[in-house]
Chain A
Amino acid sequence: MKPWQVAAGFSGIGFYIAGCIILGILGGRWLDDKLSTDPLWFIIGLVLGFATAALGVYSMLRPLLKNGGKGEDSK
């Protein structure tokens, strides 16, 4: 596949980043409500959300980084 075709895989990256952070925050808030530990789990959820987003973006970009931006291996 050509690089721009591989790049299409990143088209949902915005939703992914936002989704991870929102899920982390909502999960944290929910746990805080249940355990009344405000704001401990909120912060943990936020950090986990950010970390998941960052790791996810990195793992999506890895095939491109590995081949110097030339797309996936030209089989």
Chain B
Amino acid sequence: MTKKRMGCFLLIGVLVLFLVSIVIGPIGQALFNLPLPEWLKVPKPHVELPAEIIVPIGHFGGQEFGITNTLLTTWLTMIVLLLIGVLVMRRSKVIPSRFQGLMESAFEWLYNFCKEVAGEKNGRKFFPLITTIVLFVLFNGWLSLLPGFGSIQAHTSEGEVALLRGANTDVNTPLALAFISFAFIWGNGIRTLGWGFFKKFFNIGRFLRGWGKIFTGKVKGGLGDLFFGFIDGAVGFIELISEFFRIISLTFRLFGNMMGGEILVFMMMFLVFVTPIIIPYGLELLFSLIQALIFGFLTLVFATIAATSHEGEGHGAHE
């Protein structure tokens, strides 16, 4: 049999599987009302937005606290990453094995990327955190595609809940990551520029100079300085607001994409039978990678911008 013919048969086979899956899935059952066996019928899906508590610890301020299923996944991801790190380091050789080579090339790519964006010195400094964020988000996304996630149930006081669930589908994890990224960006900015880092947010020098001029009798120049100084101050205030909005945008970009992906896969499972789920699964593999890179890359860019002196730029508004 030629290769072309085999490809044709394979394609036809996949298409038939797709059709069968759709027909015997809930969509087909609803459309054609087929007399299918009981085990092929699926329950109605139930999407839960907040993370479910697996091990309750106690109440605090009227809010129940405990170990949630997303926290368990966070720990699992950390263990997996640690294991990979230990395995690669222990068996590292001068001539790398395939696994070591893969890890080395991934790290090298990220390292070069950091250096390209942030420069030689800052790139070295930013690399550890950026890589941690990228790997954490990536492995979190990929782990939650494994069988067992969402399907293994735990008995709790609130009924049966999924034992494991992608950590970034709980808004608290992306928020925590965004806070870490924000602290890192500001910390680096302050370390590099000192108190000068805050200058762009509280740009009231010209405004104060305007008052000084008015009091010394130079009313015309003073009024001009007062006006432009006010605009400078407003722009600084706006920059401060936009810094805080970065936390929100980082959080909800990651959360929305991960939650959306999970709901898509979840719903597909209830709409079709097995085969067509491969499509959203494949997309999820890609989306996890993209989201991980975007989160890391944005942190890198913001940290680089924060660590770059804004001298001379602040006077550009009215040149």
Q: Which residues does A use to contact B, with CB under 8 Å?
A: 1, 5-6, 8-9, 11-12, 14-16, 19-20, 52, 55-56, 59-60, 62-63, 66, 72
Contacts and interface: CB of A to CB of B under 8 A. Distances in A.
Contact of B317 (A11, A15, A62): A62
A28 B241 CA distance: 18
Interface stretch (B216-224, B248-256, B282-290): B248-256
B308 interface: yes
Contacts of A63: 313
Contacts of B33: none
A59 to B, nearest CB: 5
Contacts of A56: 238-239, 241-242
B11 interface: no
B302 interface: yes
A52 B245 CA distance: 13
A66 B242 contact: no
B136 interface: no
Nearest to B238: A56
Nearest to B305: A9
Interface of B: 117, 234-235, 238-239, 241-242, 245-246, 248-250, 252-253, 294, 297-298, 301-302, 304-305, 308, 313, 316-317
10 contacts: A11-B249, A11-B294, A12-B245, A16-B242, A52-B238, A56-B238, A56-B239, A59-B238, A60-B242, A62-B317
A12 B250 contact: yes
B248 A19 contact: yes
A8 B308 CA distance: 16
A6 B316 CA distance: 18
Contacts, number: 55
B117 A55 contact: no
Given A12-B249, A19-B248, A59-B235, A1 B298 contact: no
A59 B297 contact: no
Nearest to B297: A8
Contacts of B316: 62, 66
B301 A8 contact: yes
B245 A5 contact: no
B301 A16 contact: no
A72 B305 CA distance: 10
Contacts of B248: 12, 15, 19
Contacts of B252: 15
A12 B294 CA distance: 12
A1 B239 CA distance: 20
Nearest to A7: B301
Nearest to B234: A55
Contact of A15 (B249, B302, B313): B249
Nearest to A51: B234
Nearest to A59: B235
A5 B245 CA distance: 19
Contacts of B313: 63
Contacts of B246: 12
B249 A55 contact: no
